[in-house]
Amino acid sequence: IELLEQCLDSIDKKSDYTNLEIIIVENNSVKPETFAGYERLKNKYPRLEVLKWTEEFNYSSINNFGARHAKGELLLFLNNDTELIEPGSIREMAGLALQKDIGAVGAKLLFADDTVQHAGVVLGFRGYAAHAFTGIDRDNVGHMVRPLIVSDYSAVTAACMMVKKSDFELVGGFDPIFRVAANDVDFCLKLLKLGKRNVMTPFSLWYHYESKTRQSDKTGSNRKRFEYEVQLFQKKWPDESRGPDPFHNTNFNLDIAPFYLDM
């Protein structure tokens, strides 16, 4: 609940875009302080609704459930472990998402130490995909200044992603076969198949305290689940899994990392 309150408070205090409806999908929480927190938030934000999801955890199904209740023209999928940095972040995403040829709009996400966590997603990394420019400093120009300009990518992370509700419904939302991982990349590829462009804008800037709620995909049972979902993705998108990614320079060795030059 502390993460959620921090996220919403950052939007309330900093965002210069206020035409917002807030939908929280409650997912099998058990702590009394969590539900007390919901009551505080409902009292604080009149346009906030808490929906209750009682089935097993499935990121795709939970977000599809929330989207069905949304009344707005645009959907902003936002993890609870995010914090808004730049006041114009939501407005910048909306300005792009409303354009007819744009599909998904992603933000630039930072770790707590002001290094990049996400600045777009590149296909083909070790048979799946990877975040671009992970680990570089916040203001590092990267390759061709891409971390600092609006850029086309095959996919963006759904930790902070905006899309027209009409496009979301047109492609059937997130595919529930991807319970935790790969759902956002799969979703973005469905938009590309429609002829849409997916973009990342660095002018939407957030902290992302990654995996604070669900824990890392790199350890224990999470790792096995992640590897299984990658296999599902490879079956569904065999060509895209292998690459090359049309928005990535093929002179870089994707076995290392997107846009990383091994000297």
CATH code for the domain of 100: 3.90.550.60
Cβ(105)–Cβ(234) below 8 Å: no
Specify if 207 maps to a domain. Answer: yes
The answer to whether position 174 is within a domain reads: yes
Residue 42 lies in a domain: no
**Residue 134 falls within a domain, yes or no?**
yes
Rg (CA), the chain: 18
In a domain, 27, yes or no: no
Alpha-carbon torsion, ordered 168, 5, 90, 74, to 10 deg = 20
Give the pLDDT of the chain (263 residues) as one tens digit per residue.
999 999 999 999 999 999 999 999 999 999 999 999 999 999 999 999 999 999 999 999 999 999 999 999 999 999 999 999 999 999 999 999 999 999 999 999 999 999 999 999 999 999 999 999 999 999 999 999 999 999 999 999 999 999 999 999 999 999 999 999 999 999 999 999 999 999 999 999 999 998 655 555 665 678 899 999 999 999 999 999 999 999 999 888 888 888 887 65
Distance CA 65, CA 151 (A): 30
Entry pTM:
0.94
262 Cβ contact partners less than 8 Å away, ≥ 6 residues apart:
253, 256
Residue 23 within a domain: no
Is residue 37 in some structural domain?
no
Number of domains in the chain: 1
If 0-12 CB within 10 Å is exposed, 13-18 middle and 19+ buried, where does residue 20 land? Answer: middle
Q: Print the domain residue range for 120.
A: 74-242
In a domain, 193, yes or no: yes
Residues 6+ apart with CB under 8 A from 142: 119, 133, 136, 148, 259
